[in-house]
């Protein structure tokens, strides 16, 4: 029998392909999760597809009418069973293109959402088994609904964008939780070129952990900070009675060449690379007030302490353009973003300086140097400020942030 990849003229490589494909071939051509009844169950019993319910019912018959698409969807379903991230599950993946004779391409445009949806009841049961309340279960599993509806609206046709499929872990894994305004992700073996220390008064101090520092104080390799002239190695040393290393400037939050010594009698280490953290993400769109964030953090502390006792968390951690110290020159002290910054102890991370262009202007560029700064719009204070800073070479970089759990 000809491999479905050859029939669809696509290239997919996965460690799990052969095993999954064999299972898919042994099953009925149309599994239960590729039926209207299943989609209605997701909508009626779980309430996780409120925006895309009608779109899914529109796309479904076009998927099941093509046996090769059904077979490919079933194979993906079994690969997803391994609960591996996209980068670990696939070494190569491309969507099949509709033949030129097909006038309505909706089946080809949407087939990949169905194996993801098929896993949502399993994920719901896992979340409930951990004691997580229905509201958080629904909000967390609605990721795929939001993306499907959003990409269909933007593209002007019913489609689950090819770029959306690699994010399936947000929809089917039980380690990504939407709690109020923020999203929280359990991140094991978190790696950062710094360590965090806390004294008896609760003050926090980051120390570089054998990182290469650019002359500017950014991590070497950060956009516009790639030259090695003046760069130095910020080593970390632990002695019998102290920790020694390089910390950050209180205002710029960039590393300095001044070495500090923290006595063990006064300071304890609260984070180092390899620790498990709760990563914080800011879902795009909508207000983000101080009160909303405080409510999310408070509830997250409760959920992760009570529902994930099998983990030892070192704290909250985030990497975000909203932590850039440059924003203090752009925004008022009372702004929600400045209030958000105050929750975190901020430090540099290696980054491409692209996030501000994406979230402030909606510009997706391969490199920050590809952004034509002179053409950036200036229709609000944020846009004017980011543009002026960028023209001065003071990019609104992404920074890292740490907050005790």
Read off the pLDDT of residues 347-370 as tens digits, 9 standing for 90 and up. Answer: 999 999 999 999 999 999 999 999
pLDDT at 231 over 90: yes
pLDDT, position 1:
65
Q: What is the mean pLDDT of residues 45-66?
A: 97
Instruction: Indicate the helix (H) or strand (E) that contains 108.
Output: helix 106-110
Among the listed ranges 139-143, 169-173, 184-188, 273-277, which one has the minimum average pLDDT value? Answer: 169-173
Residues 6+ apart with CB under 8 A from 266: 199, 200
Q: In this structure, which long-range contacts are made by residues 96-101, counting pairs with CB atoms below 8 Å and at least 24 apart in sequence? A: 96/8, 96/9, 96/10, 96/68, 96/69, 96/72, 97/9
DSSP string over 342-356: TTSEEEE----S-HH
pLDDT at 151 over 90: no
Whole-number Cα distances in Å, 328 to 52, 325, 386, 398: 40, 6, 11, 14
Each residue of 371-405: pLDDT tens digit?
999 999 999 999 999 999 999 999 999 999 999 99
Q: What is the mean pLDDT of residues 175-182?
A: 96
Q: Based on DSSP, count helices (H) and strands (E) in the chain, helices before strands.
A: 16, 14
pLDDT, position 232:
97
Each residue of 281-336: pLDDT tens digit?
999 888 999 999 999 999 999 999 999 999 999 999 999 999 999 999 999 999 99
d(CA 349, CA 319): 8
pLDDT, position 154:
84
Q: At what angle do helices 67-80 and 17-26 cross, to 10 degrees?
A: 130
23 CB-contact burial (10 Å; exposed 0-12 / middle 13-18 / buried 19+)? middle
Q: What is the mean pLDDT of residues 172-176?
A: 92
pLDDT, position 285:
81
pLDDT, position 186:
97
* 179, 188, 163, 106: CA torsion to nearest 10: -70
pLDDT at 2 over 90: no
pLDDT at 9 over 70: yes
pLDDT at 155 over 90: no
The percentage of residues in the chain with a pLDDT greater than 70, rounded to a whole number, is 100
Three-state SS at 315 = strand
Three-state SS at 146 = helix
Instruction: Give every strand in the sheet of 242-248, ordered side by side.
Output: 237-238, 242-248, 255-263
Whole-number Cα distances in Å, 330 to 54, 70, 383, 393: 43, 52, 9, 15
Q: What is the mean pLDDT of residues 91-116?
A: 95
Whole-number Cα distances in Å, 389 to 101, 122, 215, 374, 383: 51, 48, 19, 12, 10
d(CA 235, CA 136): 42
pLDDT, position 171:
87
């Amino acid at each position: 029998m000809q491999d479905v990849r050859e029939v669809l003229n696509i290239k997919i490589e996965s460690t799990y392909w052969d095993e999954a494909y064999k299972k898919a071939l042994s099953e009925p051509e149309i599994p239960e999760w590729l039926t209207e009844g299943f989609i209605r169950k997701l909508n009626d019993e779980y309430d996780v597809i409120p925006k895309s319910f009608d779109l899914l019912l529109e796309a479904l018959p076009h998927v099941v009418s093509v046996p090769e698409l059904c077979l490919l969807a079933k194979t993906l379903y079994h690969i997803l069973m391994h609960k591996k991230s996209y980068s670990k599950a696939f070494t190569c993946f491309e969507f099949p293109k509709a033949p030129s004779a097909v006038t309505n391409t909706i089946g080809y445009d949407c087939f990949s959402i169905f194996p993801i949806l098929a896993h949502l009841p399993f994920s719901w049961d896992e979340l409930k088994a951990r004691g997580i309340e229905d509201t958080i279960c629904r909000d967390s599993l609605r990721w795929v609904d939001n993306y499907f509806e959003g990409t269909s609206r933007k593209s002007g046709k019913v489609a689950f964008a090819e770029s959306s499929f690699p994010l399936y872990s947000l929809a089917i894994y039980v380690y990504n939780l939407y709690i109020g305004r923020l999203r929280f992700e359990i991140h094991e073996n978190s790696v950062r070129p710094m360590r965090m220390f806390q004294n008896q008064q609760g003050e926090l101090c980051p120390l570089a952990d054998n990182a290469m520092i650019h002359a500017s104080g950014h991590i070497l390799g950060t956009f516009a900070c790639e030259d090695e002239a003046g760069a130095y190695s910020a080593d970390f040393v632990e002695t019998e009675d102290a920790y020694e290393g390089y910390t950050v400037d209180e205002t710029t939050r960039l590393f300095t060449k001044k070495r500090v010594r923290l006595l063990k009698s006064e300071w304890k280490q609260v984070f180092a690379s390899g620790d498990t953290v709760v990563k914080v993400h800011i879902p795009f769109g909508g207000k983000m007030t101080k009160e909303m964030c405080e409510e999310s953090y408070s509830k997250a502390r409760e959920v992760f302490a009570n529902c994930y006792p099998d983990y030892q968390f070192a704290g909250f951690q985030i990497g975000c353009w909203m932590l850039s110290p440059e924003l203090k020159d752009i925004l008022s002290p009372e702004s929600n973003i400045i209030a958000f910054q105050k929750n975190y102890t901020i430090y540099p991370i290696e980054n491409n300086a692209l996030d501000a262009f994406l979230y402030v202007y909606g510009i997706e560029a391969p490199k920050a140097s590809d952004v034509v700064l002179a053409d950036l719009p200036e229709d609000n204070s944020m846009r004017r400020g980011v543009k002026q800073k960028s023209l001065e070479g003071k990019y609104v970089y992404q920074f890292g942030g740490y907050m005790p759990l």
